Structure 1
Amino acid sequence: MPRGSLARRLILLAAAWSLAALVLTGAALTAFFRDASLQRLDQSNQETLDAVVAVANVVDGEVVVPQIRDEPSLRIFSGKYWLVAEAGEGERLTVLEQSTSLWDGDLPLPRGRSLNLEESGPDIYGGEGPRGEPLRIMAIRRTLPNRSEPLIFLAGIDRTAVNADVRRFSTLTWTALALLGCGLVAAVFFQVRLGLRPLHDLSREVGAVRRGRSSAVEGAYPVEIAPLAEELNALLEHNREVVERQRMHVGNLAHALKTPISVMLAESEGKSDGLADVVRRQAEVMRGQVDHHLRRARAAARAQGGGQRTQVEEVLDELARMLERVFQSKGVEIDWDAEPDLWFRGERQDLQEILGNVLENACKWSRRRISAVAVADGETRLRIVIEDDGPGLAADQREQALKRGERLDENAPGSGLGLSIVKELCAAYGGTVALGESRLGGLAVTLELPRAEA
Structure 2
Amino acid sequence: MMQSLRLRLVIGAVLAIAFVLLLVGFGLSRVFSTYAAERYRSDMSAIMDQLAASIEIRNADAVVTDEPSDPRFGLPGSGLYWQVVPKDGKVIRSRSLWDVELSLAALHDGPYRFRETLGPDGAPILVDIRQIEVETGQGNRPFTLLAAFDRKVLDDAISQYHGSMTGMLIATAAVLLAAAFLQIGIGLAPLSRLQANLARVRAGSLDQFEGEGPTELKPLVLELNQLLKERETAVERARARASDLAHGLKTPLTVLLHVADGLPGPEKAMIRQQVDLIRQRSDRQLQSARLGVEQMTQTGLASLTGKLVSVLKPVTTARGIDWDVRLDDQLTADMDPADLAEALGNVLDNATRFARGVIRVSAAQDEAAVRLVVEDDGPGVEEAGLAEIAGRGVHLGDGEGSGLGLAISADVLAAYGGGLSFARSALGGLKVTLSMPTRTSRRTRSVKE
TM tier relative to shorter chain: 0.7 to 0.9
Equivalent position of 2:116 in the other structure:
126
Tell me if structure 2 keeps the 8 A contact 1:309–1:452. no
Q: Quick check: 1:64 aligned with 2:45? A: no
Rounded to whole Å, the distance in 2 between the matches of 1:448 and 1:291 is 24
- SS of structure 1 residue aligned to 2:225: helix
Alignment CA distance shift 1:133-1:114 (3 Å): closer
**1:338 to partner: Cα distance:** 2.5
- SS of structure 2 residue aligned to 1:71: coil
Tell me if structure 1 keeps the 8 A contact 2:343–2:412. yes
Write the deviation string for residues 193-239 of structure 1: whole angstroms up to 9, x where unpaired. Answer: 11221211111120232244544434843444345334433432432
Equivalent position of 2:128 in the other structure:
138
**How many residues matched?**
435
- SS of structure 1 residue aligned to 2:114: strand
Equivalent position of 1:315 in the other structure:
304
- SS of structure 1 residue aligned to 2:417: coil
Rounded to whole Å, the distance in 2 between the matches of 1:129 and 1:110 is 14
Which amino acid counterpart does residue 433 of structure 1 have in structure 2? L
Matches within 5 A, 1:219-368: 220-272=212-264, 282-299=274-291, 303-368=292-357
Tell me if structure 2 keeps the 8 A contact 1:376–1:383. yes
**1:342 to partner: Cα distance:** 2.5
Alignment CA distance shift 1:147-1:262 (3 Å): farther
Rounded to whole Å, the distance in 2 between the matches of 1:110 and 1:224 is 72
Tell me if structure 1 keeps the 8 A contact 2:303–2:329. no
- Choose 240-249 or 62-71, whichever is displaced more: 62-71
Write the deviation string for residues 354-395 of structure 1: whole angstroms up to 9, x where unpaired. Answer: 1110011011101111111122231x6211111111111012
Rounded to whole Å, the distance in 2 between the matches of 1:133 and 1:67 is 29
Which structure has more RCO (C-alpha within 8 Å, separation ≥ 6)? 1
Tell me if structure 2 keeps the 8 A contact 1:81–1:156. yes
Equivalent position of 1:100 in the other structure:
95
Equivalent position of 1:91 in the other structure:
none
**1:296 to partner: Cα distance:** 2.0
TM-score calculated relative to the size of structure 1: 0.85
Rounded to whole Å, the distance in 2 between the matches of 1:95 and 1:404 is 120
Tell me if structure 2 keeps the 8 A contact 1:86–1:150. yes
Rounded to whole Å, the distance in 1 between the matches of 2:84 and 2:389 is 113
Q: Quick check: 1:382 aligned with 2:379? A: no
Rounded to whole Å, the distance in 1 between the matches of 2:177 and 2:78 is 49
RMSD across aligned positions (CA)? 3.2
Equivalent position of 2:194 in the other structure:
202
Rounded to whole Å, the distance in 2 between the matches of 1:444 and 1:123 is 90
**1:161 to partner: Cα distance:** 4.1
Which amino acid counterpart does residue 91 of structure 2 have in structure 1? L
Moved over 6 A (4+): 273-278
Rounded to whole Å, the distance in 2 between the matches of 1:87 and 1:405 is 121
Alignment CA distance shift 1:15-1:115 (3 Å): closer
Tell me if structure 2 keeps the 8 A contact 1:216–1:233. yes
**1:425 to partner: Cα distance:** 1.0
Q: Quick check: 1:45 aligned with 2:47? A: no
Which amino acid counterpart does residue 250 of structure 1 have in structure 2? A
Write the deviation string for residues 109-153 of structure 1: whole angstroms up to 9, x where unpaired. Answer: 687x7579xxxxx97223442234542211234455558995533
Which amino acid counterpart does residue 386 of structure 1 have in structure 2? V
Q: Quick check: 1:445 aligned with 2:439? A: no
Write the deviation string for residues 24-77 of structure 1: whole angstroms up to 9, x where unpaired. Answer: 2222222212211111111222222233344446667x6523253312334433
Rounded to whole Å, the distance in 1 between the matches of 2:430 and 2:105 is 96
**1:397 to partner: Cα distance:** 1.5
Gaps of 5+ in 1: 89-93, 117-121
